[in-house]
């Protein structure tokens, strides 16, 4: 596009750039405020109110939250659930997606319909809870993983990706004597690494952010992932919600800096993978919008 | 299986022409047994965690007792639905749901479109990517994080917003415990988390517009606003229509986690929606059958809305969503 250099157009650009910059800043200022606040002292936060760059650095808040092992433990749970959950989900998703990408498969349309229908209608919270309970998964980490193992949307994205791989590859592998498992693991999966990375990140973020499954299926506070602990400390500690179950470790309402530190701890892993996320997720979101 | 006609009609036989259709299909199934083994775990997943719960909806017509199980609990017909429709809470929930939905549609839905239009006018790729990087961030944060940050900033006890209000001589506002502030807070958080991410699909549609159109209009002396109005917007019209219809299909999906986190005894009368009600009545109070009936009602309305929306999309000359 050739640049339009008239004066109204220049003014348009200046206004547009300024507004966008403001929107961008407003979006991330709360995060910066929380990060900066977590590294400062209670006194400085109280005095200066809006801190973006602490003058008095302090790790007090972090020392406080790591003085008991509640946070450590919940971070461990979250890391474990994210790691094993992503592996498990990817295994199931890839296997099923590859199977469904094979055009010569009898029953393929029926199974696809079965998958798509779950996106439109569901048994809902209580019947699902009863199934999980019947399976003896209440208060197990499996409850955070298995009941949400496959996301139908991700499955369809993967299937579309596999379907678009050149068909000749499989044919020639078959002539070379490879079986279906060999084709999948030695040819299809190595060729699909971009899609696999994208979907893995989708799953990983979902598992890291898991909250609802935990409050539905885990009564045992010792097993809670970091998101639930975060809610206990920041949201419930303000004495807001009617339900104030098991909060042994933080009886006094915590200081602002402490709340901020917990938020940072729960956010940091995502901010660390964010550069990768952004690149892949934008692609993934578009893949998903071209439904097959 | 009932898909015989579909699948045999779909698949041309690549192997030796079989004497009878059925034996050919048997052969194919045996040949593909490894593929079925691959599908099996996923198939079982959908069966156990999606379809068995769907069949579990029958407890909406029972007085479900945990020790009797689904098989032996007494049948009560539409008792729980009758209770739902006569419960005063039902209308509160329904109107809360509709009001939140309308506010979403009015205040959230246009934001990604406007933001995408603005981003699309940026010619410096570096600047554009810089802004995109910032506005996408909140999408990856859980609702717990989004709500927690809001709470820290809005709290009466040294929350930055209330400190600023006090500094400017206003009275502090107890945003978190107020029924007046619940809805604006809900919508603002939706905008904060999703508006940036929502631009992606519009930006993709805008990227497909022929640059020649802009060239020509510029030569004709069209201003930047006129270009947006007469070229960009019409070009993304169909995307807007499809997303609008999808949104309507999701009328009852207001986000259990988000609302549940904001919910407290002070704002319950405006914040209670179907999902939170099901959770409280079902899992907290143990009224399994009644809350399943509430959930069932919600799922049915949801399904009808999606189908209606899809039908409307096709009517409007757009491609449906399925």
Percent of chain A with pLDDT over 70: 86
Residues of A in contact with B176 (CB under 8 A): 238, 240
Is the pLDDT confidence value at B39 over 60? yes
Contact B218 A92 (CB under 8 A): no
Which is more confident, A55 or B217?
A: B217
Residues B130 and B206 in one domain: yes
B310 domain-assigned: yes
Provide mean pLDDT across the span B39-50. Answer: 97
Q: Write the DSSP assignment of A15-73 as a string of letters.
A: HHHHHHHHHHHHHHHHHHHHHHHHTB-HHHHHHHSS-SS-SSB--HHHHHHTSSSHHHH
B322 domain-assigned: no
Angstrom distance (rounded) from CA A160 to CA A97: 8
Shortest Cα distance from B99 to chain A (angstroms)? 23
Out of A218-227, A235-244, B196-205, least confident range: A235-244
Helix, strand, coil % in chain B, rounded to nearest 5: 75, 0, 25
Residues of B in contact with A155 (CB under 8 A): 42
Contact A8 B224 (CB under 8 A): yes
Angle (CA) A142-A234-A257 rounded to 5° is 125
B150 domain-assigned: yes
Contact B59 A12 (CB under 8 A): no
Q: Which of B43, B72, B101 is the last residue of a domain?
A: B72
Q: What domain range is B47 assigned to?
A: 4-72
What tokens were used for B224?
A: 């930047």
Residues 6+ apart with CB under 8 A from A103: A163, B11
Q: What are residue B62's DSSP bridge partners? A: B75
A245 to each of A160, A273, B30, B143, B279, how far by Cα in Å?
45, 33, 55, 20, 16
Residues of A in contact with B131 (CB under 8 A): 20-21, 23-24
Residues of B in contact with A183 (CB under 8 A): none
Q: Which of A121, A123, A227 sits opposite B303 (nearest CB)?
A: A121
| Interface membership of A42 toward B (CB under 8 Å) | no
- Nearest Cα residue in chain A from B188: A27
Q: Which of B28, B141, B282 sits opposite A106 (nearest CB)?
A: B28
What tokens were used for A28?
A: 């991330």
- What local confidence, expressed as pLDDT, does residue A41 receive? 82
Angstrom distance (rounded) from CA A264 to CA A260: 6
Q: Is-contact A151 A90, C-beta < 8 A?
A: no
- What local confidence, expressed as pLDDT, does residue A150 receive? 96
The pLDDT-based confidence of B255 (bands split at 50, 70, 90) is confident
- What local confidence, expressed as pLDDT, does residue A97 receive? 96
Which is more confident, B41 or A285?
A: B41
Angstrom distance (rounded) from CA B18 to CA B47: 33
Residues of A in contact with B198 (CB under 8 A): none
Contact A4 B218 (CB under 8 A): yes
DSSP B76: -
Contact A253 B158 (CB under 8 A): no
Q: Tell me the angle at which helices A152-163 and A193-208 cross, rounded to the nearest 10 degrees.
A: 170
Residues of B in contact with A283 (CB under 8 A): none
Contact B265 A155 (CB under 8 A): no
By three-state DSSP, how is residue B75 classified?
A: strand
Which is more confident, B322 or B90?
A: B90
CA A279 to chain centre: 15
Interface subset of A 111-170, CB within 8 angstroms of B: 111, 114-116, 118, 120-131, 135, 146-150, 155
Which is more confident, B118 or A7?
A: B118
By three-state DSSP, how is residue A75 classified?
A: helix
Out of A260-264, B159-163, B232-236, least confident range: B159-163
- Nearest Cα residue in chain B from A271: B137
The pLDDT-based confidence of A122 (bands split at 50, 70, 90) is confident
Is the pLDDT confidence value at A142 over 80? yes
Average pLDDT, chain A: 85
Q: Which residue has the tokens 């499996």?
A: A142
Give me the architecture of the A68-289 domain, per CATH: Orthogonal Bundle (1.10)
A39-48 pLDDT, tens per residue?
A: 888 777 777 6
Q: Which of B134, B160, B292 sits opposite A28 (nearest CB)?
A: B134
Which CATH number does the domain housing residue B256 bear? 1.10.3720.10
Domain with CATH 1.10.3720.10 in chain A: 68-289
Provide mean pLDDT across the span B279-284. Answer: 89
Provide mean pLDDT across the span A210-239. Answer: 88
Is the pLDDT confidence value at A256 over 50? yes
Chain A interface mutation, best of B39, B197, B269, B284, highest count of A Cβ atoms under 10 Å:
B39
- Nearest Cα residue in chain B from A3: B123
Residues B95 and B49 in one domain: no
Chain B interface mutation, best of A127, A181, A263, highest count of B Cβ atoms under 10 Å:
A127
What is the b/e burial string over B215-243, where b = at least 16 CB atoms within 10 angstroms of the residue's CB?
eebbeeebebeebbeebbeeebeebbebb
Contact A13 B130 (CB under 8 A): no
Residues B162 and B238 in one domain: yes
Q: What are residue B75's DSSP bridge partners? A: B62
Winning range, highest mean pLDDT, from A53-57, A95-99, A191-195, B13-17: A95-99
- What local confidence, expressed as pLDDT, does residue A76 receive? 94
Residues B68 and B98 in one domain: no
Angle (CA) B151-B188-A45 rounded to 5° is 35
Contact A234 B265 (CB under 8 A): no
Angstrom distance (rounded) from CA B290 to CA B42: 31
B144 domain-assigned: yes
- What local confidence, expressed as pLDDT, does residue A171 receive? 81
B288-321 pLDDT, tens per residue?
A: 999 999 999 988 988 888 888 888 878 877 666 5
Residues 6+ apart with CB under 8 A from B203: B116, B119, B120
B320 domain-assigned: no
Residues 6+ apart with CB under 8 A from A111: A100, B39, B43
Residues B91 and B232 in one domain: yes
Residues B110 and B43 in one domain: no
| Interface membership of A199 toward B (CB under 8 Å) | no
What tokens were used for B16?
A: 């030796």
Count CB atoms within 10 A of the CB of residue B74: 9
Q: Write the DSSP assignment of B6-51 as a string of letters.
A: HHHHH----SSPPSSHHHHHHHHHHHTHHHHHHHHHHHHHHIIIII
B117 domain-assigned: yes
Count Cα atoms within 13 angstroms, Cβ side, for B228. Answer: 15
Is the pLDDT confidence value at A245 over 50? no
- What local confidence, expressed as pLDDT, does residue A247 receive? 45
Shortest Cα distance from A257 to chain B (angstroms)? 9
- What local confidence, expressed as pLDDT, does residue A68 receive? 84
Shortest Cα distance from A157 to chain B (angstroms)? 14
Residues 6+ apart with CB under 8 A from B216: none
Shortest Cα distance from B106 to chain A (angstroms)? 19
B321 to each of A18, B241, B243, B244, B305, how far by Cα in Å?
37, 11, 10, 12, 13
Cα distance between the two ends of chain A:
33
Q: Is-contact B239 B205, C-beta < 8 A?
A: yes
Residues B211 and B267 in one domain: yes
Residues B286 and B226 in one domain: yes
Q: Which of B45, B72, B99 is the last residue of a domain?
A: B72
Contact B53 A124 (CB under 8 A): yes
- What local confidence, expressed as pLDDT, does residue B100 receive? 92
Which is more confident, A43 or A264?
A: A264
Residues B110 and B52 in one domain: no
Contact A230 B176 (CB under 8 A): no
- Nearest Cα residue in chain A from B41: A92
Residues B188 and B273 in one domain: yes
- Nearest Cα residue in chain A from B60: A127
Angstrom distance (rounded) from CA B70 to CA B59: 7
Is the pLDDT confidence value at B282 over 80? yes
The pLDDT-based confidence of A51 (bands split at 50, 70, 90) is low
Q: What are residue A57's DSSP bridge partners? A: A40
Provide mean pLDDT across the span B201-216. Answer: 91
Angstrom distance (rounded) from CA A107 to CA A113: 10
Residues of A in contact with B321 (CB under 8 A): 291
- What local confidence, expressed as pLDDT, does residue B122 receive? 93
B227-246 pLDDT, tens per residue?
A: 999 999 999 988 888 888 77
Contact B204 A9 (CB under 8 A): no
Is the pLDDT confidence value at B104 over 60? yes
Contact A124 B57 (CB under 8 A): yes
Which is more confident, B23 or B6?
A: B23
Q: Which of B36, B55, B72 is the last residue of a domain?
A: B72
- What local confidence, expressed as pLDDT, does residue A4 receive? 63
The pLDDT-based confidence of A223 (bands split at 50, 70, 90) is very high
Angstrom distance (rounded) from CA A119 to CA A98: 20
Shortest Cα distance from B140 to chain A (angstroms)? 7
Contact A128 B34 (CB under 8 A): no
- What local confidence, expressed as pLDDT, does residue A252 receive? 55
Provide mean pLDDT across the span A261-268. Answer: 93
Domain count, chain B: 2
Residues B49 and B131 in one domain: no
Out of A55-59, A117-121, B212-216, B297-301, least confident range: A55-59
A76-98 pLDDT, tens per residue?
A: 999 999 999 999 999 999 999 99
- What local confidence, expressed as pLDDT, does residue B292 receive? 94
Residues B148 and B165 in one domain: yes
Average pLDDT, chain B: 86
B89-103 pLDDT, tens per residue?
A: 899 999 999 999 999
B116-141 pLDDT, tens per residue?
A: 999 999 989 899 999 998 999 999 99
Residues of B in contact with A108 (CB under 8 A): 7
Angstrom distance (rounded) from CA B200 to CA B206: 10
ipTM for the complex?
0.87
B309 domain-assigned: yes
């Amino acid at each position: 596009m050739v640049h339009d250099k008239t004066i109204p157009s220049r003014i348009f650009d200046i206004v547009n750039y300024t507004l966008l910059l403001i929107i961008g800043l407003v979006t991330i200022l709360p995060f910066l405020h929380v990060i900066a606040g977590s590294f400062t002292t209670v006194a400085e936060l109280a005095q200066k109110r809006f801190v973006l760059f602490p003058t008095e650095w302090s790790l007090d808040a972090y020392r406080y939250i790591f003085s008991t092992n509640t946070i450590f433990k919940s971070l461990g749970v979250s890391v474990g659930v994210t790691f094993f959950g992503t592996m498990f989900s990817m295994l199931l998703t890839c296997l099923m997606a590859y199977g469904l990408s094979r055009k010569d498969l009898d029953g393929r349309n029926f199974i696809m319909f079965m998958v798509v229908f779950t996106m439109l209608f569901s048994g809902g919270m209580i019947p699902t809870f009863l199934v999980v309970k019947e399976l003896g998964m209440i208060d197990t980490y499996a409850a955070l993983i298995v009941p949400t193992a496959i996301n139908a949307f991700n499955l369809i994205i993967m299937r579309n990706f596999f379907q678009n791989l050149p068909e000749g590859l499989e044919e020639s592998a078959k002539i070379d004597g490879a079986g279906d498992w060999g084709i999948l693991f030695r040819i299809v999966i190595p060729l699909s690494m971009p899609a696999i990375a994208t979907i893995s990140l989708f799953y990983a973020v979902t598992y890291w952010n898991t909250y609802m499954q935990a409050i539905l299926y885990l009564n045992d506070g010792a097993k809670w992932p970091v998101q639930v602990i975060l809610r206990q400390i920041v949201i419930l500690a303000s004495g807001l919600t009617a339900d104030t179950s098991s909060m042994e470790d933080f009886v006094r309402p915590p200081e602002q800096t402490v709340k901020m530190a917990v938020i940072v701890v729960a956010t940091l892993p995502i901010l660390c993978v964010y550069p990768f996320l952004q690149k892949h997720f934008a692609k993934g979101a578009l893949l998903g919008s071209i439904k097959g | 299986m009932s898909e015989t006609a579909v699948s045999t009609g779909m698949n041309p036989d690549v192997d030796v022409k079989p004497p009878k259709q059925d034996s050919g299909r048997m052969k194919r199934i045996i040949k593909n047994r490894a593929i079925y083994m691959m599908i099996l775990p996923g198939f079982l997943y959908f069966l156990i965690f999606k379809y068995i719960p769907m069949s579990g909806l029958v407890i909406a017509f029972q007085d479900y007792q945990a020790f009797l199980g689904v098989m032996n609990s007494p049948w009560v017909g539409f008792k729980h639905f009758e209770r739902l429709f006569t419960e005063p809470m039902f209308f509160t929930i329904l109107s809360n749901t509709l009001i939140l939905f309308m506010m979403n549609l009015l205040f959230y839905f246009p934001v990604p479109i406007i933001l995408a239009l603005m981003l699309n006018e940026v010619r410096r790729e570096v600047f554009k990517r810089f802004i995109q990087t910032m506005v996408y961030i909140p999408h990856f944060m859980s609702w717990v994080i989004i709500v927690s940050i809001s709470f820290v900033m809005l709290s009466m006890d040294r929350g930055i917003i209330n400190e600023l209000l006090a500094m400017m001589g206003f009275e502090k506002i107890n945003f978190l415990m107020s029924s007046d502030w619940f809805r604006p807070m809900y919508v603002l958080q939706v905008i904060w988390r999703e508006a940036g991410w929502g631009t992606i699909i519009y930006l993709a549609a805008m990227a497909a517009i022929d640059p020649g159109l802009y060239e020509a209009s510029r030569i004709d002396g069209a201003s930047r606003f006129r270009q947006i109005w007469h070229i960009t917007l019409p070009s993304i019209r169909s995307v807007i229509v499809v997303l609008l219809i999808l949104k309507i299909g999701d009328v009852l999906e207001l986000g259990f986690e988000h609302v549940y986190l904001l919910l407290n005894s002070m704002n319950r009368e405006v914040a209670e929606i179907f999902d939170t009600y099901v959770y409280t009545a079902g899992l907290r109070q143990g009224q399994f059958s009644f809350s399943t009936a509430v959930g069932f009602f919600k799922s049915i309305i949801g399904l009808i809305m999606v189908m209606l929306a899809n039908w409307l999309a096709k009517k409007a000359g757009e491609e449906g969503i399925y």
